[in-house]
Structure 1
């Protein structure tokens, strides 16, 4: 008599949505890749401005900069909330100095991906233009700028964006090390394959 083979069942929807120790769930992956694309768009526009000035190519990117920044801020907040909810479920970073470096690097990325757009939002709220992301009036134009909001935004938004760019470059470089040298499947886990 032949023994029955175990029945392989497709993973439940809940199992596919949440993180596991073997891979990141669909929610984490969607938030990660959506933020990656939007941040890349923003950094590309700013890079074009630095390299070629404020010509037509920069204006194309600039037309979407404010609204996309608000979208990044909102998605980043969701990402942080989801990360906290999944903190005991997600794949680990291992142990030792590399693990500590990964945790610190990710923490800095999370911090800046929230703070960089937040400082621009505060600057917009404190300006005489008002704040109306996606055409939705949030604050009316002011008679005068709110100095501390304008100063904070001017001091931290641009420079914070370049620090974020450096962290993103380091993040990508580390993925290259994980995949090319250590071959530990880090990218596969963020792509949804164990």
Structure 2
């Protein structure tokens, strides 16, 4: 199994928490949003949705930049293993190792960063970027509609699946004794600054 120690610096933790909160707000409050129509403006939740959406776009862009320049954390290339044959082989080998754990009704250790976990995080960042970027485009429209709105809605469904899956697996790990929540949101005193 290809693994590296998980050490998240303060900036990664802050960006992760900011994205978590902004994406959760956007998803949870989306049912309350009433878009503007030709004869009436959007409701207050629509206006909040726009503002939080722009904040989300800024956070995800900062996260992308940080992921590309940071040195002591998950390498940028690990987030996108499909761009490298070597990275893809590492993901495939690690999935096999994960399968061996699961057959014994165990979870792999959580104090390590595995190629599949990194790839999943890359998919989450791509999904957040697509959702925020289409939302930003819609922000420029007086009455949002058309293909970009449909893409925005479809990507938000993917984001729901990602959030439920990602958070669900984090909770499974946490309840089985792995300290994944402390690793991502706990003190950085022993993690070092990346």
TM-score by length of 2: 0.64
Please give the alpha-carbon distance, in whole angstroms, between the structure 2 residues aligned to 1:24 and 1:85: 14
Structure 2 residue ranges without an equivalent (≥5): 35-41, 79-90, 99-113
Match of 2:168 in 1: 173
Match of 1:77 in 2: 61
What are the Cα deviations for residues 98-152 of structure 1, in whole angstroms up to 9, with x where unaligned?
Answer: 5343223211110011111111222333x3x2xxxxxxxxxxxxxxx9xxx9534
How is 1:154-165 mapped onto 2 (pairs within 5 angstroms)?
154-165=149-160
Match of 2:108 in 1: none
SS in 2 for 1:65: helix
Match of 2:128 in 1: 113
RMSD between superposed Cα atoms in Å: 3.1
TM-score by length of 1: 0.64
SS in 2 for 1:23: coil
How is 1:51-62 mapped onto 2 (pairs within 5 angstroms)?
59-62=43-46
Structure with greater Cα Rg? 1
1:90 maps to 2:91: no
Length, aligned pairs only? 146
Task: Give how far 1:154 is off.
Answer: 1.7
SS in 1 for 2:8: coil
Please give the alpha-carbon distance, in whole angstroms, between the structure 2 residues aligned to 1:47 and 1:107: 27
Q: Whose RCO is larger (CA < 8 A, sep 6+)?
A: 2
SS in 2 for 1:64: helix
Structure 1 residue ranges without an equivalent (≥5): 1-19, 51-57, 130-144
Change (3 A) 1:184 1:91: farther
Match of 2:15 in 1: 31
Match of 1:191 in 2: 185
